[in-house]
Amino acid sequence: MKIFLDTADVEKIGKYAAMGLVDGITTNPTIILKSGRRQEEAIKEICKLVDGPVSVEGVEEKEAGMVKDGVKFSSWAKNVVVKLPMTEEGLKAVRALSKKGIRTNVTLVFSPTQALLAAKAGATYVSPFVGRLDDVADDGMELVRKIREIFVNYGYKTQIIAASVRSPLHVAQSALCGCDIATVPPDVMEKMFCHGFTDAGIRKFKEDYEAAGKR
């Protein structure tokens, strides 16, 4: 499974990219706000750090504005992917941009039928929001499994990005159900490295190594 980082924090991106762990980046207006940077400047820097797709999102609500934005975003770097909301206008923009050879990521997906429509419109990626469904006592991962089943049933090439990931469990569940990509916030990425038994095991081996050296 590919791992994208759901962040515009260039220090974190650089750190994990140097380890070979980053297959792409997703951003949204909230993430850009948190970065404290201007969108264009941040995206251009991120695109230099990561070869994989970098999703960029605007706030236009009509097809014409979305397409204009999409063309502008994709002029910033060759690996930019245009993120569009799951609306009728958003899907019109998906179609228009894909005709221009521009890749798209349909975001704010909360149902299997939304994902089906996005795939039919020609989206490169769909982003079901797992955590936000869990937040309202729905089952976010179940949505990912359903979308995967639909895409496999009919051979859609659209890739599924598990988004709104809140824990390493979401990442593991995504990988287990054959989801193409999980987009992971840096705090979740940090937790993915850790296990208390690993730390305890290292401590014990060190103690035993030192004790053996005293023989």
Which residues does the annotation mark as catalytic? 83
Task: List all residues 6 or more positions away from 5 whose beta carbon is below 8 Å from its beta carbon.
Answer: 12, 13, 16, 22, 24, 25, 26, 183, 184, 185, 186, 189
Per CB under 6 A, does 129 bind ligand G3P? yes
Tokens for 124?
A: 């490169």
The residue range among 33-41, 94-102, 127-135, 195-203 that interacts with ligand G3P, by the rule CB under 6 A, is 127-135
Residue ranges with strand state E in the chain: 2-6, 24-26, 54-57, 80-85, 104-109, 125-128, 159-162, 181-184
Smallest distance, ligand G3P to C-beta of residue 209, A? 42
Min separation Cβ 191 and ligand G3P, Å: 15
Shortest separation between residue 176's beta carbon and ligand G3P, angstroms: 19
Neighbouring CB atoms inside 10 A of 124's CB total 22
> Binding marks (x or -) toward ligand G3P, 165..194, rule CB under 6 A?
------------------x-----------
Site for ligand G3P in 21-40 (CB under 6 A): 26, 28
Binding site for ligand G3P (CB under 6 A): 6, 26, 28, 129, 131-132, 163-164, 183
